[in-house]
Structure 1
Amino acid sequence: MSEKKPGLIRRIFRFIGSVVSAIRYMISLVVVLFFIAIIGGMFVDDIQPMPERGALYLAPSGTLVDQRSYIDPVSEIFAQPGQRDTETLVRDIVQALDHAQYDERITHVLLDTNYMAGGSIAKLEEISGALQRFKRSGKPIVAIGDNFSQSQYFLAAHADEIIMNPLGRVMLTGFGSYSNYYKEALDKLKINVHVFRVGKYKSAVEPFLGKGMSDEARADRRDLVDSLWQFYTSRVEQLRGLPNGALNDLANNIHLRLAEENGDIAALALQQGLIDRIATRSETKAHLLEILPQSNGEFDSVPMAAYLNHMKLGSLKAVNKGRPEIAVVVASGAILDGNQPEGTVGGDTLAEMFAAIEDEDQVKAVVLRVDSPGGSAFASDVIRDSIASLRKRNIPVVISMGSYAASGGYWIATESDKIVALSTTITGSIGVFGVIPTFEDSLSAMGVYSDGVGTTNIAGMLQLSRAMTPETKMIMQSGVEHVYSRFLNLVADARETTPSAIHEIAQGRVWTGKKALELGLVDALGDLNDAIASAAILAGVSDYKINYRRKPLSFMEQVMMEISGNVDAAVGAMGLQSWLPMSLQRQLASALKPLQFLDALNDPNHVYLYCESCPL
């Protein structure tokens, strides 16, 4: 008998099943190949052959930072392309330059600032020191750029020759510190912002109090920006051989000078001595071929990332087993409660790192790089307490101040054996505030009311839909004053003076590192390398290795970060990017800043040690 033919429905389902199976096998194959590529990439570094003689190609990308911000790998895959290149570690640049000055294979530094988005004046100062040390080797530095922003030009000014595109420009505008003030907008929205503070210079809360800057805040910021601008102009004038005051005169009169040059800003830069040569990209390449070592029609160079990898390979050959360690921990970003990703400072995160160091016999000293405007008072004290525990184990702790170590950043620094700051570090801001918004008037305007009963007068004290009671206001103000008193005592004990003496220079006022040294708030001026050297002296070690500590990542986090790095380029090529224009994203971020500010600093007691004027 012939076999009965399956029915139409059964044949349809069989066909669908075959298609699903085929798709499943294809997906499985793609996944296997994908992970093979990922695993292979984990064992392949950017190791390019070193030329026998060539230039170190230094092209900082994005913002100059002390610690790269952690980006959730899944989000990173679908973010803007090149997200991983939006930050460059300052210490990478410094290490490359310091090594290159003694490396006979390196004949020049080719400094390309086109990809650098910017950096604080303190970050620039630290790199400036490394560039000047390199120059003492007698090896030339050549700087190239299509345009030069203020921060880009500061680095380029160290070059023996600066080359700029004929359609480029050097824009030196000076430093400014401006804020938006939201009081009228908040009134129109019927949002009541309750402010509690100690310190007449503590300006972080002023945007919620009026339409403009107070006289105290204006004087404080004026002193700060003038001091930083003086550093910038004097350093550049010295490097370029310009007369004193030349840059200030140019910035104030550039509209007149530019008219004299018929609007040719590149010609103006050349005439003013800011650059040495105007050249198109092809002309620049031809000139570099004349002055740099070359082979096969190309000048010989090695990118900084590849050069650092060669340095790491060399260090692996050194005998490190048993050598004492100087641990370097970075506290970069706002100080927040709990565990936080890199790019912010988690109170529990740093406390756990210090607790782990306590149990490591090979660690003889710790350098804490503080690059923070502060944040949560509670988290700041958690970190300070963990440092105290470390010091009780006779492990010296040296603070290295970065761009800013103010307010909560300075609170942390009080628990140390020595404080080393850059001359342009922003520090101080010894003051305290609390901010709590309530929305009872906003809600009532929409017909929403809060009512009920409580067992005490303060039962609903932090319910944002209710008006703040007088008792609550007294509690908050008392708490702020108590934290300020504790702050004064911590600083006084650390600096071996009295709380009243500290109060005279505190009250929320900010200082540069140079002024802080004069006031006795820091012990010495220097960079991270100077702080490490000081820690070694305090620990009594001369032959040591440096161990840069990071927040431990789980295995899956490491795998996902590797995946995101390899997939990023492919996703960008497919056009799967954020649909929202960057300009609109920035405008939205600015509009939401006041509410984001209140939400981000997550102190459990709503008491903050934060320097609003620090991130200039």
Structure 2
Amino acid sequence: MKQFFLTLAGVFAGLVLFVILVPVALIGLAAAGSSSPTTAPGTVLELDLREGLTDQPPTNPFASFGGAQLSVLEVVDALDRAEDDRNVKAVLIRLPEMGMTPAAADEVRQAIRRFRAAGKPVIAHSQGFLPVGAVLSSYMVGAAASELWMQETSGFQATGFSADEIFLGDAFRRYGVTADFEQRYEYKNAVNVYTENDFTPAHREAMLSWMRSLYDQALAAAASDRRMPPAALTELIEGGPYPADRAAALKLIDKVGQVEEAEAEILRRAGNGAKLVPLREYVSGHGLQTGSGADAIAIVQAEGTIVTGRDSGGGFGSGTMIYSDDMAKAIYEAIANRAVKAIVVRVSSPGGSPDASEQILAAIRAARAAGKPVVISMGAYAASGGYWISSEASAIVAQPSTLTGSIGVFGGKFVLSEALGRFGVDIRALSVGGEYADAFSPVTRFDGTDRTAFATSIDRTYDQFISRVATGRNLPEARVREIARGRVWTGAQARELGLVDELGGLHEAIAQARALAEIEESASVRLIRYPAEKSPFEALSAAFGVSAEGARAMATVGTIMSDPEAQALITRARTEQLRARGGVVLADQPLR
């Protein structure tokens, strides 16, 4: 019976493969196999930032199902490629009404400036800047364009940066939930939302510090691109909000008009026959640049929360985890590749497991021991565990607005017995073994012995973190303890503190890797990405638990079965078989 159900499940999976996924896989393979796609003359790329950006492209070919977001690296790579593509004449940018991730805005702005330096125009169009979050980052990107347009009915309401925090301390106390945590130290504020009803002095100090840093950097960048003194732009910004026509009169924007008018203008500048092409199509048609040459630089992707283990690959999404087994394997593969002379690790992570972080850091140490420099390129954030894995790299490159540091540790549990008891739900705990066996039971708070043991483990992890930063950054341990304590810094602040070497994005990190590997500037270099993008067959294999060869075989069978001539041959064979058994067959029809 068990085998019957397994067979039934296999048949169902096969039908899904044949009817739905195989055609998609074959189309994907055909697209991947196409050689050297060309761009139509007079192409104007349209970059719509209203859809949001991830930091890195997915390695799963099915992640684009449902319209997955473009990544910062794809946008930057496409704009860099378009600089030298003589068929790409200009770019139109649709700006988000709300904020962008500041570090993503930094990297996109830098790519826009390089594109414009190639003599190609960029028009950015906005349907308003709302007073929400990091909206000045959106304005900063628009300010980097050749012209910044705004719709007539829209408002220029970008007057600063804002951030909100929801505190659950009073609610938890009211409903009988106890947040029992240890944190190292006062700036490690993640637990405050569960224990407090307002910002602690340290929490307020740290947040205002990095928010002010982001604000000042966005204003300085926008002022430079708008060719205004920073003080003058600051005064104008803080004097808002303004309607669109007033913003134009104050030189905060260049023109007032509908997006269709901006489209017509950028097409006019591109010349006769110009056509708008979504940047997503340009990315999918060309893929990421790989370059050429005997020497190679590995690009290792790492985005999301850091956890132990490996990605099972059971779904079609892009995933938001950094699995320590997978990332360490990618680094070791780059070490084993003789062509790879240096490794760039792109990190965008808020942190995660110290044990997973240490496994990844060990692989980075192994790369350096093998004579291969490792350069960290920090994305939106590389905090806590994200900084742990970065700490002993050969060099660290971060955007001015990357959130990094947070050299600290926290841990604990929620005690739920009282809260659930109010609804008639009782929790009872049993344990055998040592006293610490039930330390993380949600029934009671840590007792004296449990708390001592747990606090000791938190202290040990914090000391290990401090040691790795002191070693990797060549700083006295006492100095690291001063600037750690769980505090978050921007990339600009971190450089001043010695936690970051250079400001910039992946472009600058690759240049740093070339220099450390002593590759001549005139030499061509290949970029090899790890982990490699899965083929459609490998993605199907992971999703359905069959081998890649099996998925390929099923796809082949599915293709044959869908061929009309093959169907006719099968039908005739079945017909002759029935006739041989004495059956009366009136016509050679498909059996139903």
TM-score norm. by structure 2 comes to: 0.78
Q: Does 1:293 align with 2:271?
A: yes
Structure 1 pair 502/57, CA: closer, same or farther in 2 (3 Å)? same
Of 27, 42, 47, 1:40 maps to 27
Q: For residue 553 of structure 1, report the CA deviation from its aligned partner.
A: 4.4
Residue equivalent to 1:51: 40
Read off the aligned partner of 1:395 and give its amino acid letter.
K
Residue equivalent to 1:337: 308
SS in 2 for 1:374: coil
- Counting only pairs closer than 5 Å after superposition, residues 424-573 of structure 1 correspond to structure 2 as 424-445=401-422, 446=424, 448=426, 450=428, 454=432, 456-542=434-520, 543-550=524-531, 553=534, 558-559=539-540
Q: For residue 454 of structure 1, report the CA deviation from its aligned partner.
A: 4.5
SS in 2 for 1:197: strand
Identity %: 29
Q: Does 1:84 align with 2:61?
A: no
Of 111, 114, 122, 1:141 maps to 122
Q: Which moved more, 1:363-372 or 1:386-395?
A: 386-395
Residue equivalent to 2:575: none
Read off the aligned partner of 2:115 and give its amino acid letter.
F
Structure 1 pair 500/556, CA: closer, same or farther in 2 (3 Å)? same
The C-alpha deviation readout for 1:538-583, integer Å capped at 9, x for no partner, is: 22334320112236648655248999xxxxxxxxxxxxxxxxxxxx
Structure 1 pair 207/463, CA: closer, same or farther in 2 (3 Å)? same
Q: 2: CA distance between counterparts of 1:457 and 1:447?
A: 26
Tell whether the 8 Å contact from 2:344 to 2:513 is kept in structure 1 after alignment.
yes
Read off the aligned partner of 1:92 and give its amino acid letter.
E
Structure 1 pair 129/288, CA: closer, same or farther in 2 (3 Å)? closer
Structure 1 pair 286/420, CA: closer, same or farther in 2 (3 Å)? closer
- RMSD between superposed Cα atoms in Å: 3.3
Q: Does 1:328 align with 2:315?
A: no
Q: For residue 178 of structure 1, report the CA deviation from its aligned partner.
A: 2.5
> Gapped runs of 5+ residues in structure 1?
1-23, 78-82, 259-264, 564-616
Q: Does 1:271 align with 2:249?
A: yes
Q: Which moved more, 1:188-197 or 1:272-281?
A: 272-281
Read off the aligned partner of 2:301 and give its amino acid letter.
V
Q: 2: CA distance between counterparts of 1:272 and 1:427?
A: 36
SS in 2 for 1:401: strand
Q: 2: CA distance between counterparts of 1:71 and 1:472?
A: 44
Q: Does 1:422 align with 2:399?
A: yes
- Counting only pairs closer than 5 Å after superposition, residues 108-257 of structure 1 correspond to structure 2 as 108-113=90-95, 119-148=100-129, 150=135, 151-254=137-240
Residue equivalent to 2:564: none
Tell whether the 8 Å contact from 2:93 to 2:125 is kept in structure 1 after alignment.
yes
Read off the aligned partner of 2:275 and give its amino acid letter.
D
Q: 1: CA distance between counterparts of 2:20 and 2:322?
A: 38
The C-alpha deviation readout for 1:267-308, integer Å capped at 9, x for no partner, is: 23222222222223454444445433122xxx3344434444
Read off the aligned partner of 1:199 and give its amino acid letter.
Y
Structure 1 pair 55/513, CA: closer, same or farther in 2 (3 Å)? same
Q: Does 1:65 align with 2:54?
A: yes
Q: 1: CA distance between counterparts of 2:61 and 2:23?
A: 22
Of 382, 385, 395, 1:405 maps to 382
Q: For residue 225 of structure 1, report the CA deviation from its aligned partner.
A: 0.5
Q: 2: CA distance between counterparts of 1:309 and 1:443?
A: 51
Q: 1: CA distance between counterparts of 2:100 and 2:543?
A: 27
Q: Does 1:392 align with 2:373?
A: no
Read off the aligned partner of 1:506 and give its amino acid letter.
A
> Gapped runs of 5+ residues in structure 2?
1-10, 312-317, 545-592
Tell whether the 8 Å contact from 1:64 to 1:118 is kept in structure 2 after alignment.
no
Structure 1 pair 358/182, CA: closer, same or farther in 2 (3 Å)? same
The C-alpha deviation readout for 1:17-37, integer Å capped at 9, x for no partner, is: xxxxxxx9xx98995587446
- Counting only pairs closer than 5 Å after superposition, residues 554-593 of structure 1 correspond to structure 2 as 558-559=539-540
Residue equivalent to 1:95: 77
Residue equivalent to 1:304: 279
Q: 1: CA distance between counterparts of 2:370 and 2:381?
A: 28
Tell whether the 8 Å contact from 1:192 to 1:439 is kept in structure 2 after alignment.
yes
SS in 1 for 2:413: strand
Read off the aligned partner of 1:330 and give its amino acid letter.
Q
Q: Which moved more, 1:433-442 or 1:216-225?
A: 433-442
SS in 1 for 2:334: helix
Of 360, 368, 371, 2:345 maps to 368
Q: 2: CA distance between counterparts of 1:177 and 1:480?
A: 29
SS in 2 for 1:226: helix
Q: For residue 328 of structure 1, report the CA deviation from its aligned partner.
A: 0.6
Read off the aligned partner of 2:518 and give its amino acid letter.
G
Number of paired residues?
A: 515
Q: 2: CA distance between counterparts of 1:198 and 1:551?
A: 37
The C-alpha deviation readout for 1:61-120, integer Å capped at 9, x for no partner, is: 62222224688969x96xxxxx423x2222222222223333333332222336x97532
Q: For residue 171 of structure 1, report the CA deviation from its aligned partner.
A: 3.1
TM-score norm. by structure 1 comes to: 0.75
Q: For residue 535 of structure 1, report the CA deviation from its aligned partner.
A: 1.4
The C-alpha deviation readout for 1:444-476, integer Å capped at 9, x for no partner, is: 443625265755433422222244321111111
Q: 2: CA distance between counterparts of 1:122 and 1:135?
A: 20
Structure 1 pair 443/48, CA: closer, same or farther in 2 (3 Å)? same
